[in-house]
Amino acid sequence: MQSIEEWTQELKTSDKLIIVEGKKDKKALEELGITNLITISKPLYEVVEQISDKTKEIIILTDMDPEGRKLYSKLKTQLQKRKIKIDTKFREFLIRETKLTNIEGLPHYLLKIK
């Protein structure tokens, strides 16, 4: 089983586009050296169209709160309709192995466990 540090390293080196909810989430992941990010800063259908033109596989890292889960579900459904593969491994790890409810808390969480 991978540790959270190993997962974070994998995200740094991945060529998959990572979708996050907002600017704070993006900033938090950039602090960890993860740069292949896109925020949901426009209507969902525009984000889906933009992504569909760029890649065939993505990672969705919306928050694990009720609103983030709802957004994740909508994004996943719309992207899969466009034949975009969703890599769910890191999100599932966060839900299963941490008590994080938001992505912006990831850098703090990593510091806390060291």
Residue whose C-alpha is closest to residue 77's, from 48, 57, 102, 54: 48
Question: Where exactly are the structural domains of the chain?
Answer: 4-113
Mean pLDDT within 21-39:
95
Q: Is the pLDDT of residue 1 over 80?
A: no
Mean pLDDT within 65-70:
95
Q: Is the pLDDT of residue 35 over 90?
A: yes
Mean pLDDT within 28-48:
93
At residue 106, φ and ψ (nearest 5 deg) are: -60, -45
Spacing of C-alpha 70 from chain mean position: 14
Q: Which amino acid type is present at position 65?
A: D
**Residue percentage of the chain with pLDDT more than 70:** 98
In this prediction, residue 50 carries a pLDDT of 87
CATH architecture of 4-113: 3-Layer(aba) Sandwich (3.40)
Q: Is the pLDDT of residue 99 over 90?
A: no
Contacts of 16 (CB under 8 A, 6+ apart): 36, 55, 57, 58, 59, 87
Mean pLDDT within 58-84:
95
Rounded to two decimals, the pTM is 0.91
